[in-house]
Amino acid sequence: MAKANKKQALGRGLSALLKDTSDIKAVATEVVGNIIEIGLETIDVNPYQPRTYFDEEALRELASSIKELGVIQPITVRKVGESFQLVSGERRFRASKLIGNKTIPAYIRIANDQEMLEMALVENIQRKNLDPIEVALSYQRLIDEIQLTQEELSTRVGKKRSTVANYLRLLKLDPILQTGMRDGFISMGHGRALINIESSEDQLDIYEKILREKLSVRQTEELVKNLKAGETPTKATKKVLPKYIKESLPEINSFLGHKIDVTVNSKGKGKISIPFHSQEDFERIKNLLK
């Protein structure tokens, strides 16, 4: 009976537990390890949150979903004094505030500062929409602030050690290139190619050339190879497609549903490469070409 009453109290939220006691330690003992509804105004954001940018449109979409279905997955918080601090779930927290919700379901746990940082970093690393530099910075913070080796880090985040090393090497790039990667102007493949250039000046020269001539990763790798062989960056240039091909590409891309790749040699001969992502996609393209 007492157990049933306890569950009923937890179901009503933190206020049910606070009603009969002013001992915050006792309250903490009661709520830790449980999921309860807590007031949004009692929650402070995680100071160890590695993510500093939250897409407003994505937040509005999440807020719309929460308004319709509620918060499906509770956030996680830790007890700090008389309030709570986010461990994970800041997007759900922000989206709930956006639509005027007063409370949110939360799992209460105990965590020290180091555990807070590690949980926040690892949770963010698992997300698919992080840019490469954001991942690399999270890896570096885990190494520096939690004193992990690359081997230990690879185990914690479930990635190969070589993958972790490749991300960390991106932090050796000139800050302008790192910003370009975060903003989507160049890919991680471009960045990995440019890491092999020691001079920041040469890195920036090639970066500008990538943007100006829209060089692919392969073309960038060739440019870097030539530079390391003693040639100047201007010797490798992107081949310009004939006008009749450039004018036709948008129509072909739209018809096939993919961005195709066209190469042409000096004699006017060339080839068209059509990408596909699955067997179903291949069958779809095959039927279009019949």
pLDDT tens for the chain, 290 residues: list them.
444 443 333 333 444 433 333 344 444 455 667 888 999 999 988 766 656 567 788 889 999 999 999 998 999 888 877 788 888 888 899 999 999 999 999 998 876 667 766 776 776 666 656 788 988 888 888 888 778 888 988 888 888 999 999 999 999 999 899 989 988 899 999 999 999 898 888 999 999 999 999 999 999 999 999 888 775 544 444 457 788 888 888 888 778 777 787 877 777 788 888 877 777 778 888 888 87
Q: What predicted TM-score, i.e. pTM, was given to this entire model?
A: 0.50
Q: How far is residue 255's CA from residue 5's CA, in Å, rounded to a whole number? A: 64
Give the pair of three-digit tokens for residue 50: 């590695």
Q: Which of 90, 118, 134, 221 is catalytic?
A: 90
201 is catalytic: no
88 burial type by CB count under 10 A (0-12 exposed, 13-18 middle, 19+ buried): buried
Q: How far apart are CA 54 and CA 51, in angstroms?
A: 8
Collapse the DSSP code of 178 into the 3-class scheme (helix H, G, I; strand E, B; otherwise coil) and give the result: helix
> Are β-strands 35-39 and 43-44 bridged in parallel, bridged antiparallel, or unpaired?
unpaired
Which letter does DSSP use for residue 170 in this model? Answer: G
Domains and CATH numbers, the chain: 2-111 (3.90.1530.10), 243-288 (no CATH)
**Among 244, 234, 285, 235, CA closest to 264:** 244
Helices (H) and strands (E) in the chain, counts: 15, 7
